Amino acid sequence: MSLLEMHRKTRRSLEAWWGKCFLVPASSLIAWLLLRLLPRVHPNQVTTVSLVLGASSGALFFLGYTISAVIVYQLCMVLDWVDGKVARLTGKTSAFGAFYDGLVNHLVYIFNVIGLGFGLGLSWQPVAMVALLLGLRGINNYLNDFLEREIEGSWSHFVAAEQSWLSRNGLLPPGSFPDKHAIMFLACPLAGYITNDPMYPLGGMMLIAMMDGALLLLKARKAARGLFQ
């Protein structure tokens, strides 16, 4: 199977902006190379490697190695796409694999929020942002149990209108989780590193907290509509 054929076979109908620009092409290339070099690789093995990388990037954020942390975290994100592609291409999808992948996603997020927040210093602002982000994450995922995704396989519970520019170009509205992670664990830490100003990564965490809060309200309204219909 050629790289282009594999890409077409495993792509989603809708993707996040950061996914479309970077994660999808990078993961397609890595999955293609991986299956050519290690055709018997199991997707859960890829997921485990992504967990190790995610824990490592969290530790690097905590220790202040911003550039290394950003690179390792993005590689972790790419492998999060790769394991799904490998599972679908090799027919090794399973309920445990889906559970394990979701668990790793949550753990990686926790590691990196804590690493980034506490790496900024032990003042009350980073500590408060860590607690707020993890709390919002937990509530948002609790609400997921009451909601159905509008399009199966989408990263988001909210999609653009069918004939909109976003839908025609296979894009989700800005703000699904890959986009938020690109802001919090890539753009803002790099801006802080370049300017030597910790307010950039702290500001990124504040921005994501506001976006998660708005998402929580939208999900709560959607869940309430479903309960009272």
CATH number, residue 73: 1.20.120.1760
- C-beta separation of 47 from 99 below 8 A: no
CA distance 29 to 4: 9
106 closest CA partner among 143, 69, 85, 133: 133
Helix (H, G, I), strand (E, B) or coil at 15: strand
Determine, yes or no, domain membership for 6.
Answer: no
Determine, yes or no, domain membership for 3.
Answer: no
pTM (whole model) above 0.85: yes
CA distance 128 to 216: 18
Determine, yes or no, domain membership for 125.
Answer: yes
Determine, yes or no, domain membership for 1.
Answer: no
Residue 15 CA from chain centroid, whole number: 12
Which amino acid does the sequence have at 149?
R
For residue 135 the two structure tokens come to 């709390």
- C-beta separation of 31 from 47 below 8 A: no
Beta bridge partners of 171: 15
The pLDDT score that the predictor gives to residue 229 is 59
Helix (H, G, I), strand (E, B) or coil at 6: helix
CA distance 55 to 110: 9
Which amino acid does the sequence have at 112?
N
* Consecutive H or E run containing 177: helix 177-182
Rounded mean pLDDT for each run of 10 residues along the chain, 229 residues in total? 78 87 93 92 96 97 96 97 92 90 93 92 79 87 72 66 85 87 96 93 93 87 72
Q: Which domain holds residue 113?
A: 11-228
What is the count of structural domains for the chain?
Answer: 1
